[in-house]
C-alpha cells in the first residue's frame, strides 16, 4: 500500500493509531487487510518487548506500547520507518483456515429465511456460504469474535430488528455482508444459519484463537453426527 494512504495519530499517552486509507470512510478491502497484517508483523519485530498490544480493525491499527521502555518520539519514528519501508503483501496472504459448520434450519433459524429472500434453495445458500473465501477483517465485540467478509451479496441480510437475549457459543451467523462464529454465549442480533464445533476462543491455549486479522477463512459443511463427534453441543434457541 502507498504510504501516502496511511497516517498516524496519537490515541493515548501510550498508544498510536495508524489509519490505512481515508479515516473518514470505513473501507473494507483485502488489500487493506493484507497491509494491516503485514504491518502487525513488522511492528512486533521492531517494537519487540516494548509492545503491549496490537488491536487491528477494518482500516486501522492501534499500537499500545510500554512507556517505561520507549517514549512517544521513539514509537512514532519506528512506526514511520515501518510504514515507509516497502513491504510486499498479497491479498492471498495470511493462513487459510478451514472451519466446519453444521448448517441447520433447527439450530440456524434464519437459514430458510435467507434462502427465501434470495430466491434460492437452502442447499444453494449453504453452497454459496461455504464456497466463499472470507478475510478476517477485525476481532472485537467479544474475545474471539472474528468479523469475516465479504458475504456474497445474495446472502446479505440486515441484523434482526429484535436481537436475541442469548445466542449459543458456536452459532454461525450473517449480518449485512459479514459473517462470524459466536465464540461464547451472548446476546446478538445476527441471522443464525448453523453451528460450528471449533472453539473460537480459548484463554488456556496459545494462540487463543484459530484465526487472526489478515487470515482467510473458508467454511465447509458437516452433518449432525460429524458435528457431535467434533465436540459440538446442540443448543435450543
pLDDT (tens digit per residue) in 148-194: 999 999 999 999 999 999 999 999 999 999 999 999 999 999 999 99
d(CA 193, CA 110): 6
Pick from 64, 84, 104: which residue ends a domain? 84
Return the pLDDT at 56: 86
Arithmetic mean of pLDDT, 4-24: 86
* 102 & 219 share domain: yes
pLDDT of residue 31: 83
In a domain, 180, yes or no: yes
Position 217 scores a pLDDT of 97
Same domain? For 126 and 203 the reply is yes
Same domain, 125 and 213: yes
CA 102 to chain centre: 20
Name the 3-class secondary structure at 67: coil
Average pLDDT (8-28) is: 83
What is the rounded (10 degree) CA torsion for 174, 111, 202, 14? Answer: 10
DSSP assignment of 118-170: HT--HHHHHHHHHHPPEEEEEE-SSTT-EEEE---GGG-BPPPSS-EEEE-TT
- Residue 157: give its domain's CATH number: 2.40.100.10
Residue 208 has pLDDT above 80, yes or no: yes
Residue 179 DSSP code? E
pLDDT at 1: 47
DSSP code for 92: T
* Same domain? 216 vs 140: yes
User: In this predicted structure, what is the pLDDT of residue 92?
Assistant: 61
Grid look-up 504491518 returns 39
If pLDDT is split at 50, 70 and 90, which confidence band does 25 have? low
Where b means 16+ CB within 10 Å and e means fewer, 87-112 reads eebeeebbeebebbbbbbeebbebbe
Based on the fold, state whether residues 128 and 205 are members of the same structural domain.
yes
Same domain, 68 and 136: no
Structural domain tally of the chain?
A: 2
Percent of the chain predicted with pLDDT > 90: 73
- 115 inside domain: yes
Whole domain around residue 24: which residue ranges?
3-84
Portion of the chain with pLDDT greater than 70, in percent: 92
> 43, 59, 84 — which closes off a domain?
84
In a domain, residue 174? The reply is yes
Q: What is the CATH number of the domain that holds 51?
A: 3.30.1360.40
pLDDT at 231 over 90: yes
Residues 74 and 114 in one domain: no
The residue among 56, 84, 112 that closes a domain is 84
Our CA dihedral for 151, 218, 42, 86, rounded to 10 degrees, sits at -70
Shared domain check, 80 and 106: no
Does pTM top 0.85 for this prediction?
no
Report pLDDT digits (tens) over 68-126: 999 999 999 999 999 998 666 555 667 999 999 999 999 999 999 999 999 999 999 99
9 and 62 share a domain?
yes
Neighbours of 65 (CB within 10 A): 24
In this structure, are 43 and 101 located in the same domain? no
- Residue 4 has a pLDDT of 53
Amino acid at each position: 500500500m502507498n504510504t501516502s494512504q496511511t497516517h498516524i495519530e496519537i490515541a493515548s499517552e501510550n498508544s498510536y493509531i495508524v489509519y490505512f486509507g481515508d479515516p473518514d470512510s470505513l473501507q473494507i478491502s483485502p488489500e487493506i487487510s493484507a497491509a494491516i497484517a503485514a504491518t502487525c508483523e513488522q511492528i512486533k519485530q521492531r517494537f519487540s518487548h516494548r509492545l503491549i498490544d496490537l488491536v487491528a480493525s477494518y482500516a486501522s491499527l492501534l499500537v499500545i506500547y510500554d512507556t517505561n521502555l520507549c517514549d512517544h518520539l521513539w514509537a512514532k519514528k519506528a512506526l514511520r520507518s515501518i510504514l515507509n519501508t516497502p513491504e510486499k503483501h498479497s491479498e492471498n496472504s495470511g493462513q487459510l483456515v478451514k472451519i466446519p459448520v453444521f448448517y441447520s434450519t433447527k439450530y440456524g433459524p434464519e437459514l430458510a429465511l435467507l434462502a427465501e429472500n434470495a430466491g434460492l434453495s437452502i442447499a444453494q445458500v449453504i453452497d454459496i456460504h461455504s464456497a466463499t473465501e472470507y478475510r478476517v477483517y477485525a476481532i472485537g465485540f467479544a474475545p474471539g469474535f472474528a468479523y469475516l467478509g465479504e458475504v456474497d451479496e445474495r446472502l446479505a441480510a440486515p441484523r434482526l430488528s429484535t436481537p436475541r437475549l442469548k445466542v449459543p457459543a458456536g452459532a454461525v451467523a450473517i449480518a449485512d455482508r459479514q459473517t462470524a462464529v459466536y465464540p461464547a454465549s451472548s446476546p446478538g442480533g445476527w441471522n443464525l444459519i448453523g453451528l460450528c464445533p471449533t472453539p473460537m476462543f480459548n484463554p488456556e491455549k496459545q494462540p487463543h484463537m484459530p484465526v487472526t486479522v489478515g487470515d482467510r477463512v473458508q467454511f465447509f459443511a458437516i452433518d449432525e453426527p460429524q458435528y457431535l463427534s467434533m465436540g459440538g453441543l446442540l443448543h435450543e434457541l
